[in-house]
Structure 1
Amino acid sequence: MPDGNSLQYHYNTEEQLIGVTNQRGERWQLNRDAVGRLIEERDYWGKARSYHYDEAGYLTQSLNPLGQLLAVTCDKMGRIVSKAPQGQPEKTETYAYNKRGQLILAKNQYSEVTRQYNQVGMLILENQQQQDVTARLEYVYNLSGQLTEQYHQLRHRTQAEGMAFKQALRFEYNELGQLIRQQVDDHAPIEFGFDEIGRLTSQKQSEAVTSTFEYTKAGQLKRQSLHRSGSTHSDSIDYHYDVSGNLVMRSDSRGGTDRYFYDVLGQITRHSNPMGEIHDYVYNANGDRFVEKENPEGQRELTFNDGMQYRLNQAGQLIVREDGERSDRLEWDENECLSGFYRTGERGERYQYHYDALRRRIRKTCIDMRDRVEKITYFIWDGDALTAEVSFSPVATGANAKLDSRFFVYYLNSFEPLVLQCRINHPISPLGLTSVVPFNRGRLASICSKGITSRMDSRERKARS
């Protein structure tokens, strides 16, 4: 490596990876049986995970460093049909497949997900059923297999059938297969322009707002600008890179200039922000920015340069986070998903989290100091992308008894946000209130609500939060 350290990979005679030795000489060990199956994974700190298989070679159980055993059942094709933590049958997760081998059911105690496909195997419908909330996602394709329409419907149990939150997305492509228009409901479509090698060069969010993008010869984003009709002034962000391609300066016409400095490994060693504040970063041989030790319980304790302290359990899960002003506690379930969070202090709120059988978070419950459920937020997913959420307060009454929902729209086939759509089902407005917020690649561009348009960027959002 450029700094003189080495990272080594180890293989067996069958060219299978069996270990990694890091820059400090610590080894991550992968132990395999005679036919090459992974039977034990031992990390840099000596904590082991083990795996067991049946005679057909299919996984039957796994055991993590906390001693939590997960039983796994596979069908004759090797597909997982159930998973269950030891001694907790109520937490069993089940899966089913069609003749093509595509997933059509994923079910646990909190959620049931069902899927349907067309004759060529493309997803056309997904239903997500959880406590108090149902969701329906529909997909329509053209003859080339491109997504042309997508419909989302989200209904809380307190809503009548005809009052469900709904969203329609439409997509239009050019002859090269590039997306040129993306429309949310009946709002004006967002239009995209590309250069001769397929890079995004323009994004027209409305008749009043257009974004443009310029690139370096190496293909890196050089400038993005926001233009308003009737205005001679444009907001812009310029990006500057070093010979290694690292971003060294980001100059925002509204927000000021950020500068970045790197070591030979490309790690940021210093950052100066528009306020003139300088932050330095120091790394050890492994690239970590903390000092580590192990306590008598076998837990790892990490101390960062800024005084923040982490404590990780034997499975590597963060369970305590502390600094001079706060102390957070985190809890994890048998599937190693975050299940609880609470912060000690004056408010003392607690949060509980639940997941579907695909490990997607579907519910967040806020519990106040009096042990009352203060707010529940439900999440709906399009694949691995969060597509909608709805919040409900069981303790609210009167004008405060409302459902707040938000739909998230992304650049096609990405996790980069394009539009945030907010809907409120309020007692004083049975038809609901709607606002649509386009993003300008990292900055909120505008808010449109009942025909009113205003400007809001990330700094204003922080001031309001």
Structure 2
Amino acid sequence: MTDLDHNAKGQEIRRTEAVGQPEQRTTETDWYPGGTIKEIRAPGKTTRFTYTQGDGLGRLASRTEIDTTTHSAPYATQGLSRTWSYSYTYHDAPANLKVATVTVDGPRTDVNDITVQHVNPAGRIYRVEQQNGTGAPLVNEVTEFSAEGLPKTIVDPNGTVTQLAYTPRGWLKSRTVVTPQGSVTTTYAYDLVGQVTQVTLPTGTQLNYQYDAAHRLQAISTQDNERIEYELTAQGAHRIERILSSSGSLRRLVHQEFDDLGRLWKSFGVQDQVLETNQYDENGNLVRITDAYQQPILRAFDGLNRLRTQTERDTGATQYEYNAQDQLVSITDPNGLTTAWVVDGFGRKIQETSPDRGTTVYRYDLADNLIQKTDARNSVTKYSYDALNRLTEMQYPASAQDNVSLKYDETSLPTANGSIANKGKGRLTSAIVANGDKIQWAYDALGNITNDVRVQEGKTFQTTYTYNVAGQLATLTYPSGRELSYGYDNKGRIHQLRSRENSSKSWTTLANNLSYEPFGPLTGFTWGNGLTETLSYDTHYQPETIQTRSGSTDVRNLQYGFNLANELDHLTDAKTPARSQLFSYDPNGRLSQAQGQYGTLAYQYDLTGNRVSQAQTNASDGQNFTESYQYPANTHRLTQVNASGQGGQNRSFQYSAAGNLTQDERYTYVYNAANRLTQVLSGPAVIAEYRYNHLGERISKTIDGKTTQFIYGPNHQLLAEHHQDGSAIRDYVYLGNKLLAMVDADTTTNPDTGTKADLAITLKGATGNSVKQPDGRYQVTYKVNVQNAGGSAAENVVLTNTFPATDVNLVSYTASQGICTEDGSSCDLGTVSAGQTATVTLIASKGQKAKENFSASVTTSSEESNTDNNSATAAFGGAFGLWIMAFLTAMLSLRSLTAKRALNRKNTISTACLLLCGLSLMGANTSQAEQIYYVHTDHLNTPTLVTDQNKTVVWEGVRKPFGETEEVVNTVRQPIRFPGQYFDGETGLAYNLMRDYDARVGRYVQSDPIGLDGGINTYGYGYQNPVLNVDPDGEFGVPGLVMGATVNLVAQFGANLYVSHDFWRSVRCVDWLDVAVSGAMGFVSPGLIGNLIRGQAGPAGLTVAQMRYIYFTKTLPVGFALKKGLNYDLSKEGRCGSTEDECEGLGLGAAISSVTQW
């Protein structure tokens, strides 16, 4: 119940909510005699207002907020105040009736955070100036109005012109952005009552709209009559949604039922079974959600309608506590562990106490920008901002070389080839690290990124993008010089993708003839090597089949089935039936059992989702084991794994105060001030070193002095690997969020006719099976030394290790340099300099003491003076082993001789040799022209196999549910695992952008950097359902199923209609580029794809830099909203705002949003 008290004038002076209940709260309001508000006293905060004529008369002059909370820890909050000031000039002074300018001085006192709005005599805002604190203000200006006062021409800070045209009735007729490439125009058509009947996008795509007699949207169709049709309830809710192909066949069906108040009651599955049933209390709060198996989630609310308890289907209950301002102050998870926050009167979290991350303290400036963070390790990070509240510096007092300076508004980008024009005003243009690393971005008139120039380890890597007149990505040029070319169909969806090594080479088609479901995901295409890919879906656009064929022969045939709760029930491998899998789940949707080639795996969890046991039975290789997982009572940090049987692993873990893994049974892990893993140690020996940029991307890994550099695209996709000297190793090619191909660089070399390399292998130092392990097996260590005894460096050195064929498991390995595959069978050692020795140590286990041979061989792209010592063999067994040098056969000598004679006078490998020498050349020299490898992914976009230009399978991985991968074919290196993951053979972990993942225990080794925003379990992966969910950023799980444009479109429309209850606003607020492109790229959150194509996600604003390291709430200049908790909020992209005729974010609504704001 709420009590309202009023004064004699009928003005509310007191509001008491939840009367008589524990959460009762009171807000009081004082009024000036003239009827304006003087003061509002709410719990925790008082707000005061003054006016230009005093005593509440005139225009608003100031607004002051005062913190009235009484916190003393982590610091005192009471009495803190901040003020916004407003001043005016007039066209008609001294009458002061017509405002000429409005100047808003923000709350900060360290900068002039001033915005000036200019108003013409007709009362229309025509110019907005924003002081950035470093030079001329950013100016948005309307230079022309229509006779009716509607803006016709808008000029942004970069000089980009947007032209708006209207019908005689004042409805927007067209929006044209004038660019150097041409005009980008979107047009609108209406019926007689002003309903949008057609939108024509810059791509030429047409969307047509039909309505019923009540002016409610009934159908959307394209120019070739692909349709979305709606059946509506009496209240206008979408009861049935159908998607039809151009021939009229049903492709997608969504069925929902609503109660008499228009609230969602039931949702239905593919078989029209009830997926969920919702129940509400008398206040409209959702209190019960019952699934297809009649298992309920129960939710309880307090007198202020705030969620207080949620009881999951396994009876685990999460409890929520709030302060009087409705701010969360604690969450107690089902295990009884509490995360608590101290929140000041301005609603800012100033301290977090977490059972996993420890205590973190936050300090803010008067504009709510985070200016200092001190984590549980007492590691301090400081932040600075310009007058527009854009992040300008990140400082690490304990590690000054990592300090980052961010710059904005630069209008040129200097490069080695000259300066590049940059439409950079209002955008992030440079990120400069004190150690010399930096990233610079250039933009076009539409805000698309045109150049991404990165300096890493003193080397420069430039990625360039061009766009067609509609703003779609047309070409991408890698730092290596490789070019990609994108072709689109008449709906703006990718139809073809081509590649060439550089601008002087001919094009190679990577994917062609792409087809799609209507308003939906990809259905098929032809690979560049001639293989065909066919994907089919059920009527919820869930995958049914993924089939790869060579002619009529299956290369891969995966078939999917779902249970009544829409959980993945089975994955049938029709080509290799032994690899088929069955899945079962607990009541909370967590994977509880999996059956496959690996046998039966059973998982158990505690109430918060921590794995407490893993058991493998019925394993074909006899590796049956049980593992139990141990956690302290006061945290979710895994500390011990105890194994019994064969194949399990005994593990131990220690953590820092901030929740980062610092020690396990193998290594010590070292972190920087930003909680990123920077070093891995084995005793005093450095196993690996890692470096990151300010976006959280890992830009290099160094093993034994050899560095691999990584280059990323604007949405954190790994684009390329390069050597330390800048030379290319590999480029990665994507089709949306799907890894499509890997292209290895041309490694053809010009051998030195003088000094040559001379590689020799020795095997020694085995400890054999003298120590019996707890699992009953015997352990042996192989130490492989690859020594270059020649006078010249050996380039592209590859070590191949061959284990006995049966009953041998690799436990771990370390390499002094380079990268090894997950099973240790192949190691890319890079360059071995003259006189240098590279060492690889492999630890394996075997069930019996019987001796069997282990062998190793090495190749290089450089010419060798002697190849007779490139192989060695050792016997598996004995306390110290019997090591025997194995010289190459006469065939190997013949290979070397043949290859040497095949060199032409220019000391390059001749075409004749490439055609005639065959295996002889391959044995002597692994130099090669660029190699294109096609990556075939599953429903999660996780690679399952790789084929070459000859359609040969060159990599194939068999994966356990949580990502443990056996490489059954590994002719080429393929390090990508789950989406966003890069496997590190040196540790057995997978780098996952913001964290590192350990597939062996199915969890991250660091606590989630976004805390509980990523889920109640801050170490878990994909909510413990890795066959359905993925976590590309290492922060929170999302559905991995490809959903296509329909999800995107429906999500935007649904949100807009829900907010505005007005279709016109919903249509114009949709980001149509987002919809069009997402059909080609699979399911992505609404708004993201359009921004990626425009270059307005990631580095285009303050997005990732702030999202990753800063807790604060901001809506950035590019419209990308962030929310507290190291999280980003895409919910405003292409959405309607809460006020009349307002759109938030980007897309078609952006210009209209600007119109309404003038």
Q: Is TM-score (shorter-chain normalized) higher than 0.5?
A: yes
User: How big is each residue's C-alpha offset from its partner over 1:319-362, in whole Å with a ceiling of 9 and x where there is no partner?
Assistant: 457866998776655334567878999997969697998xxx98
For residue 228 of structure 2, give the secondary structure of its aligned residue in structure 1.
Answer: strand
Distance in 2 (CA, whole Å) between partners of 1:13 and 1:210 is 62
Distance in 1 (CA, whole Å) between partners of 2:407 and 2:242 is 48
Alignment of 1:120-131 (within 5 A): 120-129=304-313
Report the equivalent of 1:442.
none
Alignment of 1:194-213 (within 5 A): 194-213=364-383
Distance in 2 (CA, whole Å) between partners of 1:37 and 1:143 is 41
Report the equivalent of 1:317.
521
Alignment of 1:219-298 (within 5 A): 219-228=389-398, 233-242=400-409, 243-253=424-434, 256-274=437-455, 275-289=459-473, 290-293=486-489
Paired residues of 1:58 and 1:74 also in contact (CA < 8 A) = yes
Paired residues of 2:653 and 2:661 also in contact (CA < 8 A) = no
Please say if 1:334 is aligned against 2:539: yes
Candidates 99, 117, 121, aligned match of 2:282: 99
Alignment of 1:34-433 (within 5 A): 34-43=213-222, 46-55=225-234, 57-65=236-244, 67=250, 68-85=252-269, 88-109=271-292, 112-129=296-313, 135-153=316-334, 167-185=337-355, 188-228=358-398, 233-242=400-409, 243-253=424-434, 256-274=437-455, 275-289=459-473, 290-293=486-489, 302-304=495-497, 306=499, 309=511, 311-320=515-524, 332-336=537-541, 370-373=578-581, 395=616, 401=627, 423=638, 426-427=641-642
Paired residues of 1:322 and 1:328 also in contact (CA < 8 A) = yes
Q: Which amino acid aligns with 1:106?
A: I
Q: Which amino acid aligns with 2:381?
A: S
Instruction: Sort the Cα spacing of 1:200 and 1:55 in 2 relative to 1 into closer, same or farther, 3 A.
Output: closer
Instruction: Sort the Cα spacing of 1:308 and 1:57 in 2 relative to 1 into closer, same or farther, 3 A.
Output: same
**Gaps in structure 1 of 5+ consecutive residues:** 154-163, 382-387, 406-419, 439-444
For residue 469 of structure 2, give the secondary structure of its aligned residue in structure 1.
Answer: coil
Instruction: Sort the Cα spacing of 1:65 and 1:121 in 2 relative to 1 into closer, same or farther, 3 A.
Output: same
Instruction: Sort the Cα spacing of 1:145 and 1:448 in 2 relative to 1 into closer, same or farther, 3 A.
Output: farther
Instruction: Sort the Cα spacing of 1:167 and 1:328 in 2 relative to 1 into closer, same or farther, 3 A.
Output: farther
Instruction: Sort the Cα spacing of 1:5 and 1:301 in 2 relative to 1 into closer, same or farther, 3 A.
Output: closer
Q: Which amino acid aligns with 1:280?
A: T
Q: Which amino acid aligns with 2:453?
A: S
Distance in 1 (CA, whole Å) between partners of 2:344 and 2:257 is 46
**Gaps in structure 2 of 5+ consecutive residues:** 1-176, 410-423, 474-485, 500-508, 590-607, 618-622, 644-648, 672-676, 678-691, 702-980, 991-1158
Deviation at 1:219, TM superposition (A): 1.9
Distance in 1 (CA, whole Å) between partners of 2:401 and 2:470 is 44
Report the equivalent of 2:722.
none
Report the equivalent of 1:441.
none
For residue 2 of structure 1, give the secondary structure of its aligned residue in structure 2.
Answer: strand
User: How big is each residue's C-alpha offset from its partner over 1:75-103, in whole Å with a ceiling of 9 and x where there is no partner?
Assistant: 111222123257x2335432221111122
Report the equivalent of 2:670.
454
Instruction: Sort the Cα spacing of 1:44 and 1:204 in 2 relative to 1 into closer, same or farther, 3 A.
Output: farther
Distance in 2 (CA, whole Å) between partners of 1:328 and 1:356 is 28
Distance in 2 (CA, whole Å) between partners of 1:225 and 1:200 is 12
Paired residues of 1:60 and 1:72 also in contact (CA < 8 A) = yes
Instruction: Sort the Cα spacing of 1:150 and 1:319 in 2 relative to 1 into closer, same or farther, 3 A.
Output: farther
Paired residues of 1:340 and 1:353 also in contact (CA < 8 A) = no
Q: Could you state the TM-score of these two structures normalised by the residue count of structure 2?
A: 0.32
User: How big is each residue's C-alpha offset from its partner over 1:29-73, in whole Å with a ceiling of 9 and x where there is no partner?
Assistant: 221112111100114653110012245544432211251333332
Distance in 1 (CA, whole Å) between partners of 2:324 and 2:355 is 23
Report the equivalent of 1:21.
200
Deviation at 1:184, TM superposition (A): 0.9
Q: Which amino acid aligns with 1:239?
A: L
Distance in 1 (CA, whole Å) between partners of 2:556 and 2:629 is 24
Deviation at 1:312, TM superposition (A): 2.2
Instruction: Sort the Cα spacing of 1:365 and 1:224 in 2 relative to 1 into closer, same or farther, 3 A.
Output: farther
Distance in 2 (CA, whole Å) between partners of 1:57 and 1:11 is 21
CA-based RMSD of the aligned residues comes to: 4.6
Instruction: Sort the Cα spacing of 1:259 and 1:45 in 2 relative to 1 into closer, same or farther, 3 A.
Output: farther
For residue 312 of structure 2, give the secondary structure of its aligned residue in structure 1.
Answer: strand
Deviation at 1:24, TM superposition (A): 3.7
Distance in 2 (CA, whole Å) between partners of 1:31 and 1:395 is 57
Paired residues of 1:2 and 1:265 also in contact (CA < 8 A) = no
For residue 261 of structure 1, give the secondary structure of its aligned residue in structure 2.
Answer: strand
Q: Which amino acid aligns with 2:286?
A: L
Q: Could you tell which deviates more after superposition, 51-60 or 93-102?
A: 51-60
Deviation at 1:179, TM superposition (A): 1.0
Distance in 2 (CA, whole Å) between partners of 1:139 and 1:167 is 12
Distance in 2 (CA, whole Å) between partners of 1:192 and 1:32 is 52
Please identify the structure whose Cα radius of gyration is greater.
2
Distance in 2 (CA, whole Å) between partners of 1:348 and 1:245 is 48
For residue 78 of structure 1, give the secondary structure of its aligned residue in structure 2.
Answer: coil
Distance in 1 (CA, whole Å) between partners of 2:265 and 2:365 is 47
User: How big is each residue's C-alpha offset from its partner over 1:417-445, in whole Å with a ceiling of 9 and x where there is no partner?
Assistant: xxx9754773359999575796xxxxxx9
Distance in 2 (CA, whole Å) between partners of 1:63 and 1:119 is 40
Paired residues of 2:357 and 2:376 also in contact (CA < 8 A) = no
Report the equivalent of 1:160.
none
Distance in 1 (CA, whole Å) between partners of 2:572 and 2:374 is 43
For residue 402 of structure 2, give the secondary structure of its aligned residue in structure 1.
Answer: strand
Paired residues of 1:72 and 1:84 also in contact (CA < 8 A) = yes
Q: Which amino acid aligns with 2:642?
A: P
Paired residues of 1:225 and 1:234 also in contact (CA < 8 A) = no
Paired residues of 1:300 and 1:314 also in contact (CA < 8 A) = no
Report the equivalent of 1:156.
none
Paired residues of 2:275 and 2:564 also in contact (CA < 8 A) = no
Instruction: Sort the Cα spacing of 1:362 and 1:120 in 2 relative to 1 into closer, same or farther, 3 A.
Output: farther
Distance in 2 (CA, whole Å) between partners of 1:430 and 1:302 is 50
Paired residues of 1:318 and 1:330 also in contact (CA < 8 A) = yes
Report the equivalent of 2:1042.
none
Q: Which amino acid aligns with 1:454?
A: V
Paired residues of 2:203 and 2:492 also in contact (CA < 8 A) = no
Aligned length: 414
Report the equivalent of 2:186.
7
Paired residues of 1:225 and 1:235 also in contact (CA < 8 A) = yes
Paired residues of 2:227 and 2:518 also in contact (CA < 8 A) = no
Paired residues of 2:298 and 2:312 also in contact (CA < 8 A) = yes
Distance in 2 (CA, whole Å) between partners of 1:135 and 1:343 is 43
Distance in 1 (CA, whole Å) between partners of 2:378 and 2:453 is 34
For residue 446 of structure 2, give the secondary structure of its aligned residue in structure 1.
Answer: coil
Identify, as 1 or 2, the structure richer in helix. Answer: 2
